Amino acid sequence: MSQWLNEVIDSASDVNDFLAPARQAALADLKNEGWPARRNESWRFTPLTPIEKRTAVAAKTVANAEIPAIDNLNAIDLVFVDGVLATELSSIEVPEGMAIIALNTSDSAAQSSITDMFGSVKPARHLFGRVNDALSTQGVFIDVNADTKVDTPIRIINIATQNVDAHSRVLVNVQANASAVIIEQSVGNVDSLTTAFAEYSIADDAHLEHYRFAMVTGSAKQLGGSHFKLHNRSTLNSTVVGYGSELSRLDVDIHHAGEFADAKMNAIYLLAEGELFDLHSTIEHAMPNGTTEENARGIVGDKARAVFNGRIHIHRDAQKTLAELNNRNLLLSRRGVINTKPELEIYADDVKCAHGATVAEIEEEALYYLLTRGVSRSKALVMLNFGFIQELINDVPNEAIKTWLLPVLSERFSHMEVK
Binding site for other proteins (CB under 8 A): 364-366, 368-377, 379-380, 383-384, 387-388
Q: For the CB of residue 159, give the shortest distance to other proteins in the complex, in Å.
A: 37
Task: Please report the sign of the dihedral spanned by the C-alpha atoms of residue 299, residue 399, residue 85, residue 267.
Answer: negative
CB of residue 141 to other proteins, shortest distance in Å:
44
239: CB partners within 8 A, 6+ apart: 210, 211, 212, 265, 266, 267, 268, 392, 395, 396, 401
Q: Let me know: does 403 contact 394? Beta carbons within 8 Å.
A: no
CA dist 114 and 140 (Å) reads 9
Q: Which is nearer to other proteins, 152 or 266 (CB)?
A: 266
CB of 375 to other proteins, least distance (A): 5
> CB–CB of 405/241 below 8 Å?
yes
What SS3 class is residue 164?
A: coil
Residue (323 or 381) nearer to other proteins, CB: 381
Which residues does 92 contact at the CB level (< 8 Å), separation at least 6? Answer: none
Which of 356, 299, 325, 271 shows the shortest CA–CA distance to 46? 271
In this structure, what are the phi and psi dihedrals at residue 251, rounded to the nearest 5 degrees?
Answer: -110, 125
Nearer to other proteins, 241 or 382 (CB): 382
CB of 378 to other proteins, least distance (A): 10
C-beta closer to other proteins: residue 134 or 393? 393
* Distance (Å, whole) CA 370 – CA 376: 8
Provide the minimum distance between the beta carbon of 411 and other proteins in the complex, in angstroms, as a whole number.
17
Could you tell me the smallest distance in angstroms from the CB atom of residue 132 to other proteins? 41
Of 67 and 384, the one with the shorter C-beta distance to other proteins is 384
In this complex, which beta carbon is closest to other proteins, that of residue 71 or of residue 365?
A: 365
Angle, nearest 10°, between helix axes 377-385 and 364-371?
A: 130
